[in-house]
Structure 1
Amino acid sequence: MEFSEEIPMKGGDGIHGYANNSSLQREAIDVAKKLVNEAIAEKLDIGALVSSKTFCIADLGCSVGPNTFIAVENIIEAVKLKYQSQSPASKIPEFQVFFNDHASNDFNFLFTSLSKDREYYVVGLPGSFHCRIFPEASLHIVHASSSIHWLSRVPKEVMNKNSPAWNGGRIHYTNSADEVIRAYKAQYDEDTDRFLQARAHEVVFGGLMLLIFSSIPNGTLHSQPLENIFFHLLGSCLMDMAKKGIICEEKVDSFNIPYYVPTPEEFEAAVERNGCFSIERKENARGVFVSKNLPNAHIFASHLRAGMEGRLKQHFGGDIIDELFNLYHKKVEEMVPFMLESGKRMDLFVLLKRKADISPLVP
């Protein structure tokens, strides 16, 4: 089975919804606020960019809030300050914000959560950010946080029993054979190339992309990122349930998670292949750490459930969800000493600027 792109985070305001279980993603946005402010202050050229009365911002992979609202408001605040410093006599333009996610994202909840005091106009834009979703040269700033490490689909090879990359008994490339890792890496390269090619058409010359995504230091083992450890634990829970006859083992064999944690080098290589953007800044927003202050097991379990429940329900049905995450919670508690010793996490902040002298290839 290949996962559809149409499986977003869990919507609504329920106890297991993403809106109430995304504090770790919120931390990445909060920590990167200073970097966003500096990027816009130093690299956004108001005179070269704005020829109309509207300044357009897109948040890709917005989910259901509230994180997307915080990120957008941080950007707007920084742009206003830039106008005041670079062009104090100019009127600050009106802001148009595009909230993008899968078509099946809970946009109704997103819209009802909007502040009535917001200082921008809103458009909800359904569709995959791995392809074109905006008109030519229509965006001044693109933001994406905790989203572009999700792949467009599970690599085909890992779902094929006749392939050397068959990933039976596992749900992710963590601790898998080299062939599986290469298949995930190839899918990541393909998706990142498509992502950058699409944005090269959509971002105006001189426009900025502010990207925050999970990364691992060059040379780090794929078994070390905290996200990969969590996926490995989830897979072991599913296999335990299969051994008890609660679910079919073949169902586990045909379930894989389309998520890849790249190194900075891998992302830089994609930017170089594309050629339409310059890397103006690249920084470890929270650094590489072996956390001594990990959130408790309940937070990790609830966050993973908010992100994975839709995929799990589609594949296994909804009856197993509570039991699965109770088991997962227990395993995370048992693994905390290991994670304190070996687990690593890095939120990479990358500032890209659209080059004015290079046109993208026809998509």
Structure 2
Amino acid sequence: MVPFSHSLNKQHASYLVVEGRVEYPRQTDMETQQPLSSSYPMSGGDGQNSYVQNSGFQRLVVEDAKPMVKKAIEDALEFTNFSENSTTFAIADFGCSVGCNTLIATQNIIEAVKEKYQSQHPNHPPLAFQVLFNDHVNNDFNTLFRNLPTSGEFFAAGVPGDFHNRLFPKASLHVGHSSYALHWLSKLPQEILDANSPAYNKDSIHCTGLSKEVAQAFAAQFQNDMERFLNARAQELVSGGLLVLTVAGLPQGTLCSQTYRGANNDILDFCLKDMAQEGVISKEKLEAFNIPMYFPPVEELEAVLKSNAYFSMEIIDPSLASHMWLPFTPHIVQPVTSTNRAIFEELIRQHFGDEIVDPVFERFHKKLSENLHLFHDKHKPANIFVVLRRN
């Protein structure tokens, strides 16, 4: 059970905590709750296979975004309804996971906001920052909380729940942030698992982009998820508030199969197919398995964002951290294997069983070391930095 604190009287609150879930009354179509999605959290704890120990690239992306975050806040953030008696500034990180990356990201936002506010309101008391860390209910919040800074620079709370739904009261947030989380789908499109559908993804466990029908099914699910995410955030952000996103995507005109990410997922695909061929896992289990991820092309993401009337686009930049992709040489085999385990372990465990996890990633290490050549002609994926302003 993740602690969730609030000070509102339940009779007047716009949210309730019921058996560890955050629930809201139905108010408009935009706020209607959807069925709970599947949850595949990153590996918890701080051990050898944990996300804490194996999320270095994600950390580099967050650090590389710092000057862009600072400039976006300088240029676009407005301080409305602040006075000497009202100085609470609320930041939410959606899909925070368990590592220190979320702490770095929120600290970057706090520093930029503090600098701008003090320059504009030198005679006002300093802002009191409230940081709300959101992820699914089975995220390892305890490891995250153990790593919170002791400086008292901000007040922290964990908020469990699916970020495709409403999580906070109306107009209660000033900045929303999400990094490397939005490419996870709330659910798999059903047609990719239907043998009678033209979108049946028979030959792969992920969206390679090679099948037009499969790609369209994944894209439609991503668009639906993004619409829900944006509509929920539109209710929660104050007018003039910012939504700062880093989305794992694709360069314009590039298929996933032509990128490092596609080749990486192909390695996992090879391992599972070998295990099915050997009878270690059933072919039926494999045919029912797909990775619930979709990496949107830049132009596709831009179209989805621009179609939402609640936000105006301040920035969209697909070049974030593009210089940080390492060449695929033998020394990266173990780090890449460990990173994949930290990301996919729970997904593999839930579908195939706990006894399959170690063998899968032992094979992944071997298969990757034997197939590094598959990465040599691949494109770098895009890390798409986005800033939206609430109208």
TM superposition score category, shorter chain reference: over 0.9
Q: Which residue type is aligned with residue 117 of structure 1?
A: S
Aligned counterparts of 1:78 and 1:18: Cα–Cα separation in 2: 27
- Per the alignment, in what secondary structure is the counterpart of residue 19 of structure 1? coil
d(CA) in 2 for partners of 1:4, 1:18:
21
Equivalent residue for 2:73, pick from 40, 49, 60: 40
1:332 aligned residue: 368
Matched, 1:319 2:319: no
Please state whether the residue corresponding to 1:223 is helix, strand or coil.
helix
Q: Which residue of 2 aligns with 1:277?
A: 311
Task: Specify the SS of the correspondent of 1:186.
Answer: helix
Match runs of 1:39-188 below 5 Å: 39-46=72-79, 48=80, 50=82, 52-174=86-208, 176-188=210-222
**Cα pair 1:5 1:102 within 8 Å, conserved:** no
Deviates more, 1:21-30 or 1:85-94: 85-94
Partner residue, 1:28: 61
Indicate conservation of the 8 Å contact 2:193/2:200, yes or no.
yes
Unaligned runs of 5+ in 1: 356-363
d(CA) in 2 for partners of 1:86, 1:300: 45
Tell me if 1:296 matches 2:332: yes
Q: C-alpha separation between the residues in 1 aligned to 2:120 and 2:189? A: 47
Q: Is the 8 A contact 2:60 2:321 kept in 1?
A: no
RMSD of aligned Cα (Å): 1.9
- 2:328/2:375 contact within 8 Å kept: no
Deviation at 1:3? 10
Question: Equivalent residue of 2:99, what SS?
Answer: coil
Structure-1 separation of matches of 2:183 and 2:62: 16
- Cα-to-partner distance string for 1:42-77 (whole Å, 9 max, x where unaligned): 21122x253532100000000112111111111111
Alpha-carbon distance between aligned partners in 2 of 1:197 and 1:44, rounded to the nearest angstrom:
20
- Return 133-142 or 215-224, whichever deviates more: 215-224
- Equivalent position SS for 2:241: strand
Shift of 1:226: 1.8
List per-residue Cα deviations over 1:256-276 (Å, max 9, x = no partner): 111111112112211222111
User: 1:288: Cα distance to partner?
Assistant: 7.6
In structure 2, the residue matched to 1:310 is 346
Task: Tell me the distance in 2 between the aligned counterparts of 1:223 and 1:293.
Answer: 16
Query: Partner of 1:266 in structure 2?
Result: 300
User: Does the Cα contact within 8 Å between 2:210 and 2:255 map onto a contact in 1?
Assistant: no
- 1:226 maps to 260
Q: Which amino acid aligns with 1:334?
A: E
Q: Is the 8 A contact 2:135 2:160 kept in 1?
A: yes
List gaps (5 residues or longer) in structure 2.
1-34
Deviations 1:227-263 (A, max 9, x none): 2221121111100111111111111110111111111
SS, match of residue 325 in structure 1: helix
2:151 maps to a residue whose letter is D
What is the alpha-carbon distance in structure 2 between the residues aligned to residue 124 and residue 268 of structure 1? 30
Counterpart contact for 2:36–2:162, Cα < 8 Å: no
Deviation at 1:213, TM superposition (A): 1.4
| TM score, norm. by length of structure 2 | 0.86
Question: 3-state DSSP class of the match of 1:91?
Answer: coil
- Structure 1 residue 14 corresponds to structure 2 residue 50: no
CA distance in 2: counterparts of 1:49 and 1:281, whole angstroms: 25
> Which range is displaced more, 134-143 or 81-90?
81-90
Identity %: 45
Correspondences of 1:197-208 after superposition (within 5 Å): 197-208=231-242
Query: Structure 1: which amino acid aligns with 2:134?
Result: N
What's the TM-score, normalizing by structure 1?
Answer: 0.92
Inter-partner Cα distance in structure 2 for 1:220 and 1:57: 34
One-letter amino acid matched to 1:287? S
